[in-house]
Amino acid sequence: MTYHEISDEYRSALDKVRSAKKVFQVYSNAEHNDGISEFCEKARTRWEDALELLCDFQANLIKEQYETNTVNDSEIDSLRIQNEQLTQDKKRLLNQLRQSLGVESKTMKGSEERPSDSTSQNSGITPADPLKRSKKKRGAPKGHKGKTRFIPKHVDFEEIIPALTDCHCGGQIEGLDEYDQKYIEDIPPICKITTKKSYQIGRCLGCGVIHRNKDGYNGPPVVIGPNLSAHLTMMRQMGCTFRKLSFFCNETLGVELSPSGVLGIVCRASEKLRPAYDEIGSMLRTQEVVHGDETGWKIGRLNWYIWCFCNRQMAYFKSSQTRAATVPKAILGEDFPGTLICDFYAAYNFIPNLQRCLIHYLRDIQEERKIFPGSNALAEFEESIWTVIKKGLAIQALPTGKEKSNKAHLLETELNRAKKYMLPKGKPTTLQKRIGKYEGELLTFVENPEVEYHNNRAERQIRPMVISRKMSYGSDTALGAERTCILHSVVETCRLNSRKPVDFLRVLLEGSIAEGLFSPKVIQATLA
């Protein structure tokens, strides 16, 4: 083939690659099920075939250019760079497909034995087909300690089952004074309880004025009690939709309740929790250690965000239209005295004491190792970060003193040595430069035992909000998003303090009927 014929074939092959790549990206961004995964794999195969054909034409084109000397060396180098970029692009998109399907990269199989955060996936693949879903091994993982139910302390009913009567040998069986015991925990059949309240009307003997109790004539004649309201609110917080809660009330409990009725109950309960929510937000500014994270949230068709700040004692969620630094400044204060554990997002840079999440950092390094599987320097760079973390945890456990300070200083020097690795150009070198850019924010956990080197706590707290977003597609109004944050904040704070949220809700709803909302002092004492 002549040079011009090869050039035409090359352009045609390039168009096929671009077309197949767009189809692949559409399928890979879609919500996956078995059907979508099949089409996605076919699109990936077509894209790889077209890319291999393109590489062949490009090699022939370079060869023809050398033979005919029709182009200069700079154009040949440009074609080579383009070929390398296409190859890396192929690997990146293939890794994204593996992650969306929940399988492991073939080049990284067996080498990633490091613990990861709660969002990592650890499923394996077979060498024959790297995109085939692996069968999960049955049974508990090695070293897992099983957990069973405790024997109930209180028994309501007892039933004695007599011994068997006939033996397999034909003889009769005599019962012994020994028993095999089994306990069955169950609930009684669910039935609604209806309480009729008759508010007596009185007349003043002096002036003859009729007096009526305002609770007797205000509002609808039939209302939902605090027990059912508390349980419906808790089920909503755990992700049940209003329509499902309506079906549950109508079909299981025998209580006629529409989806809008459930919505009204949950909204009123959330408003009752607002003083507790405000108290959590004010107490957050005085905490020694706080984790921070954020996620997207839809309000109508607009893109909003949910911010999460938490620690071992409390969780606080805040909806906002912006993802700028103004939100954490308003929540924590510009002079926040504690330590914030977060990722590498720049909105937190105003806080003087930061601990950047090293799990996020290692996750980015692992992604680049999949792109450059043959880079020994990149593997050694990742291993050096893990070594620093291990040594940092050992130093963290030491008592405060000169020895701890000296070892912490030596650890900083060891971390800086990681900047000398000759990593592949591109994103790996960018990740390497983070060590100098965030100097003083990667090893904060070494000095303070209360500080963790990762931000998994905030990610675990915000995960229920992400699941709720996938099920409900966000909120219709800004007030609805705010009430969602109120409900999640109080419920999660109760759980962190070993308090049953449903009991807190029940007491709050019962007390609000006669005495009004809880005072901030009572709320603080309840959540302490």
- Give the residues across from 354 on adjacent strands: 340
pLDDT at 351: 92
On whether both 290 and 426 belong to a single domain, the answer is no
Least confident of 231-235, 369-373, 486-490: 369-373
- Give the residues across from 309 on adjacent strands: 292, 316
Pairwise pLDDT comparison (518 vs 298), residue with the higher score: 298
Flag whether pLDDT at 493 surpasses 70: yes
On whether both 436 and 369 belong to a single domain, the answer is yes
Flag whether pLDDT at 366 surpasses 60: yes
pLDDT at 294: 93
With residue 203 as reference, give the H or E element that holds it: strand 202-203
Strand 302-310, strand 315-320: pairing: antiparallel
Which residue has 């921070």 as its token pair?
292
On whether both 367 and 486 belong to a single domain, the answer is no
Pairwise pLDDT comparison (527 vs 326), residue with the higher score: 326
SS3 307: strand
Q: What's the average model confidence in pLDDT over 195-210?
A: 89
Flag whether pLDDT at 182 surpasses 60: yes
Which residue has 């090359």 as its token pair?
10
Q: Work out whether the CA dihedral 283, 285, 287, 291 comes out positive or negative.
A: positive
Residue 263 lies in a domain: no
What percentage of the chain's residues is helix, strand, coil (to nearest 5)? 55, 10, 40
On whether both 434 and 405 belong to a single domain, the answer is yes
pLDDT at 516: 33
Measured CA to CA, the distance from residue 373 to residue 363 in angstroms comes to: 15
Instruction: Return the amino acid letter for 401.
Output: G
pLDDT at 110: 47
pLDDT at 177: 87
On whether both 43 and 59 belong to a single domain, the answer is yes
On whether both 342 and 394 belong to a single domain, the answer is no
Token readout for 483 is 């009430």
On whether both 433 and 363 belong to a single domain, the answer is yes
On whether both 471 and 337 belong to a single domain, the answer is yes
On whether both 348 and 362 belong to a single domain, the answer is no
Q: What's the average model confidence in pLDDT over 461-479?
A: 88
What pTM was computed for the model?
A: 0.70
Residue 154 lies in a domain: no
At 123, the pLDDT band (50, 70, 90 cuts) reads very low
Other Cβ atoms closer than 10 A to 509: 22
- Give the residues across from 475 on adjacent strands: 299
pLDDT at 424: 86
Q: What's the average model confidence in pLDDT over 299-313?
A: 92
pLDDT at 191: 82
Burial tier of 83 (Cβ tally within 10 Å: 0-12, 13-18, 19+): middle
Query: Residue 30: which CATH number?
Result: 1.20.58
For the chain, the farthest-separated pair of C-alpha atoms sits apart, in whole angstroms, at: 120
pLDDT at 457: 93
With residue 46 as reference, give the H or E element that holds it: helix 34-68
On whether both 12 and 83 belong to a single domain, the answer is yes
On whether both 333 and 462 belong to a single domain, the answer is yes
Strand 202-203, strand 302-310: pairing: unpaired
**Each residue of 387-416: pLDDT tens digit?**
999 999 999 999 888 898 999 999 999 999
Average pLDDT, the chain: 81
The number of distinct structural domains making up the chain is 3
On whether both 377 and 505 belong to a single domain, the answer is no
Q: What's the average model confidence in pLDDT over 359-387?
A: 90
Contact between 342 and 354 (Cβ < 8 Å):
yes
pLDDT at 221: 86
